[in-house]
Amino acid sequence: KLFTLGPQFHGHGNVIFAWQPGGHYVASIGEGQRNLFLFDRRGEQVEEVSLRSTAKVVQLEWDKDGELLAILQQGEGTVMLWRHAEKKLEVLEMNTKDPTWFAWSKVGPQLVIGTARGNLMIYNKRTMKKQTIMGKHTKKITCGAWHPQESIFACGSEDKTITVSTEEGEAALKNEAQDPLRLRCEPSMVQFAGVRSDNPNESYRDKVVSVTLEEKSLLLCNMRDPSKPTELSFQAKYGQLKDYCWFGDGFLVLGFSLGYVVIISSQTQEMSEEVSSVKHHANSLDCICCSRAAGKIASAGDDGIRIISGKDFKEVKSERISVRPESRVTHISWSDDGEILSFATEAGWVYCYLAKLT
């Protein structure tokens, strides 16, 4: 175990945390708390930042360079930015005072912010310019993601559509009739497939947007042919789809409420072939995360953390981590380099483990 951060910092409720890219610092704040803390890799406190209110922090995310930490609080009309080098907290003023979601580009200087009315604001941290795009959606923007290697992002909204946009906010789906993608229900957990090829001749890889529907099924939409999405449905015995991630070369790792971790290869023709389906947790599963760098998958459930090898998708039993039974794990993530596995509980704790490099 590397270190733990407890209720003396976070109070006794839910905690949200975010590791800086490069893994030097981790930021964390407890629900109902006003103070955001920064800790180094040894768990030593390096900074205490006072926010403007105790409103619940719903998103905390560093930009790709680890310079700026964006902070979104429930019901607050602005996004806050912590400038790490200057040790300065600033308000990112918006024309519309209703931010509901944001995400930093994985490759560029842009922060995209979605609002309750379906508008977007794109902030460029280099030029400091802000651009507002009105009417991208007709209702609240609730989820979204940037592509791992390109300057495009997808948003999901309560209006039951998904839009894909360029860094300028323009429609990235060329067939206008299909933009936005209309769904039968509200989307959640929008992601881009991190499908990468090591073959330099295969620079063009299909861009796939994935989205969950009603915690039951997963919709995969290939941007080359967005009008023909593939919907994956799952066995009732798995329970609800709680969390998922893209892993390795086109594998989908899905975590289900009744403790199952299911792995699907999206490279096969059927796209629905289960490579592995194992009940890793006795009663329930809360969240999962994947690390390409570590070559591992971690899942958190009622009986602790399980580490699954990305080579054969079997559990590495020697690396099990037990969690005090009275607190549920609410968030789990790997550091970029795959060296640190961190998770937070609903009782005010953040646990950071040095991953065994096997």
> What's the pLDDT tens digit per position in 54-71?
999 999 999 999 999 999
234-358 in CATH: which number?
2.130.10.10
pLDDT, tens only, 264-310: 988 756 566 788 999 999 999 999 999 999 999 999 999 999 999 99
CA 228, 246, 148, 59 dihedral sign is: positive
DSSP H helices in the chain: 7-10
- Whether pLDDT at 322 is above 80: yes
Instruction: Retrieve residue 210's tokens.
Output: 């994935």
Q: What is the pTM of this model?
A: 0.93
Query: Sheet harboring 285-291: ordered strands across?
Result: 285-291, 296-301, 304-309
Mean pLDDT confidence for 108-118: 97
Cα–Cα distance measured from residue 242 to residue 258, given in angstroms and rounded to the nearest whole number: 9
Which amino acid, one-letter code, is at 95? Answer: N
Cα–Cα distance measured from residue 31 to residue 311, given in angstroms and rounded to the nearest whole number: 38
Cα–Cα distance measured from residue 338 to residue 23, given in angstroms and rounded to the nearest whole number: 10
- Whether pLDDT at 117 is above 90: yes
Which amino acid, one-letter code, is at 176? Answer: E
323: left (phi over 0), alpha (psi -120 to 50) or beta: beta
The answer to whether the beta carbons of residues 122 and 133 sit under 8 Å apart is yes
Which pLDDT band, with edges at 50, 70 and 90, does 196 fall under?
Answer: low
Which pLDDT band, with edges at 50, 70 and 90, does 203 fall under?
Answer: very low
Instruction: Answer with the residue of higher pLDDT: 322 or 102.
Output: 102
Query: Sheet harboring 15-19: ordered strands across?
Result: 15-19, 25-30, 35-40, 45-50
Domain limits of the chain? Answer: 234-358
